Structure 1
Amino acid sequence: RMLLFLSFLSTSLLVAADIGNGAVPFTGPPQRPGSTPTPGPNGWATYTPQTYPDSITDYTQCQMPGESFLCDPNRILDGNVTEGHQQLDHALNTIRSSTQCACTSADANYGTCKGEGGYTVSLALVDKITLDANQDNKVDRMNAAMKFANSLRNLQDRGQCEDDILIFLSRQDQVMWTSTGPIAERALTAELINEVTLNAETYFVKGQYTAGLSYTLEKYGQVLRGEQVDLTPPSGWMWPFPLWAVITIGVVLGLVAIALIGLAIWGCTRCCCQEKDQYTMGTRM
């Protein structure tokens, strides 16, 4: 595989020649020296594809209340983790229910549509990957993330005909990788995956993992539904209202405030003038 390294802000962007796979190491919140990963419910702090829990059959190990396409055994999400899980779980289910199976008769070697919705996207989150002691640079971490994501996607085998997608994120290794099946690769190109992942870094650098993953799922969902996708870098806006609406309201309120201040000044000036006229008239008498 040919790897192309691009420099962006002190962050290296890895582009794999195989369409549909991409990783961006991001500069996450600083870790304390000697900090250790947060153990999951089974006591493991780090995972391999073989030891990683299945969110369909072992959902309690994934910190989920029921079957899900999301697994977060180390609870790495920020803020209210339960709400974050619900938000991401809903986004994953929405993609599956709002897209169509992309397999055709020419794809019979991969399988056939089974009437179970469209693309299946899974989220696999960890605090840290199990690495050898000498694997401590960005290239090693990216390669490890790629192998982890591809192996886990193949092990879980959740697609109908190789149309599945798995997004893997390791917090302490500061890397996110999207692994896709051959059918899903047709929609999610390497260029698009890398651009979306790089935009999501806007949130990751602030430790806003829920927002970054939500952004990623939003863009992937739009692509998989055949919708137009705006890949303008996000501003990091987190309110439930669009930024333009808040700016418009702010401008209107500002104009109202200026008008009220102007009215108050005019009223004070008029009052002072009336008092001056009354004083002058009294002097003449």
Structure 2
Amino acid sequence: MILPRWNLLHILQFSTLFWYCSSIRFPYYSPDAYPDSERDFSLCRMPWRSLVCDPNEILSEEGLLQLDRSTKFILNKTKCPCASYDSPMGYCTKETGYSISIAVLDSIYVESSELVIKERLERIFPEALRRKQSRGQCDDDILIVLAVKNRIVATSVGSVARRKLNYEIVDKVTELAKFRYFDDGDYARGLNLMVEIFGKVLAGENYLEVLPSKVERLYFYKLKNLFPSWPIWLTFLVLVGIPAIVVLIVLITALIISLRKYLRITRYGYQSGNPDEPTDELTETSLTSSLNSS
């Protein structure tokens, strides 16, 4: 059957419109509009189904693939945590364990009529998107959201996953990733650090060894705020070098004063006063010499 010409034109127009709409990159997203990386993975810049999505092209291709490997490694390494008393939320249907999804976007959509503070936005968007994607088996999934223009790095943790990955750990790891990588714009490495530490926690491994040492904490939490654009070695060089230089100047000054005092005593036989004014000892010697000559 041959379709009329005007029908073919309409089909072509609708096909072009559909292709354009499917390839558009929004400057901001709401939880409902954000693409699903397990279904619309091409919109997330992934070549296959993944737990990582970056529709605004913020991360490099290498960074995306590394995050994809890290999240899948944790999914296959850990075991399903669903217990019998978690049956109202679901039960284990797969051999895989915890799923950590990552949503990267330029900014989060907020209606102009809403007065949403940043803290509320950090809580609402990740929670709504995690529940929409529903990638856990019994509310055991985790979602990390990075909104660059909103300067938000937030994590939503399901109630079952929260038994191991509590909010205190999440906050510490997020703060560490911010100071190490996010503040310098290295988003891929910051997200990968969070995924790796979360994976250690969920697998029951020792994650404290990954956290920074006391010296590193001093730098990242205190000193870096004072010198945000300086490397760590330069910061410590300045903080140690300036006091050392001051002490050296004081010692050199004291040495010069002592040497001058010593030279004055040796040359003129006095300790203070004008070099042209002899001491009492010199005056007495002169008088004795005068009497003897007389």
* TM-score after normalising by structure 2: 0.62
**2:84 equivalent in structure 1:** 105
Larger radius of gyration: 2
Q: Kindly report which structure 2 residues correspond to 1:74-223, keeping only aligned pairs within 5 A, or say none.
A: 74-77=56-59, 81-133=60-112, 140-201=117-178, 202-223=180-201
Q: CA deviation at 1:85?
A: 0.7
Are residues 159 and 226 of structure 1, via their aligned partners in 2, closer, same or farther at CA, if it must alter by over 3 Å? same
In structure 2, runs of 5+ residues without a counterpart are: 1-21, 218-294
CA contact (8 A) 1:142 1:175 kept: no
CA contact (8 A) 2:142 2:158 kept: yes
- Please tell me the residue identity of whatever aligns with 1:93: K
Q: How far apart are the structure 2 equivalents of 1:145 and 1:41?
A: 27
- Please tell me the residue identity of whatever aligns with 1:117: T
Q: Percent identity?
A: 39
- Please tell me the residue identity of whatever aligns with 1:215: L
Q: How far apart are the structure 2 equivalents of 1:149 and 1:157?
A: 12
CA contact (8 A) 1:204 1:212 kept: yes
Q: CA deviation at 1:171?
A: 0.5
CA contact (8 A) 2:177 2:194 kept: yes
**In the alignment, is residue 48 of structure 1 matched against residue 26 of structure 2?**
no
Greater relative CO (CA pairs within 8 A, separation 6+)? 1
Are residues 190 and 55 of structure 1, via their aligned partners in 2, closer, same or farther at CA, if it must alter by over 3 Å? same
- Please tell me the residue identity of whatever aligns with 2:52: L
Q: How far apart are the structure 2 equivalents of 1:163 and 1:232?
A: 24
- Please tell me the residue identity of whatever aligns with 2:92: C
Q: How far apart are the structure 2 equivalents of 1:96 and 1:41?
A: 29
How big is each residue's C-alpha offset from its partner over 1:227-251, in whole Å with a ceiling of 9 and x where there is no partner?
Answer: 0112533869xxxxxxxxxxxxxxx
Q: How far apart are the structure 1 equivalents of 2:80 and 2:168?
A: 23
CA contact (8 A) 1:123 1:167 kept: yes
How big is each residue's C-alpha offset from its partner over 1:8-52, in whole Å with a ceiling of 9 and x where there is no partner?
Answer: xxxxxxxxxxxxxxxxxxxxxxxxxxxxxxxx9423111000000
Higher percent of residues as strand: 1
Q: How far apart are the structure 2 equivalents of 1:134 and 1:208?
A: 33
- Please tell me the residue identity of whatever aligns with 1:64: M
Q: How far apart are the structure 1 equivalents of 2:109 and 2:118?
A: 10
Higher percent of residues as helix: 2
Q: How far apart are the structure 2 equivalents of 1:168 and 1:41?
A: 22
**In the alignment, is residue 63 of structure 1 matched against residue 40 of structure 2?**
no
- Please tell me the residue identity of whatever aligns with 2:101: S
- Please tell me the residue identity of whatever aligns with 2:35: P
- Number of aligned residue pairs: give it: 192
Superposition RMSD in Å = 2.0
CA contact (8 A) 1:41 1:73 kept: no
Helix, strand or coil at the partner of 1:179 = strand
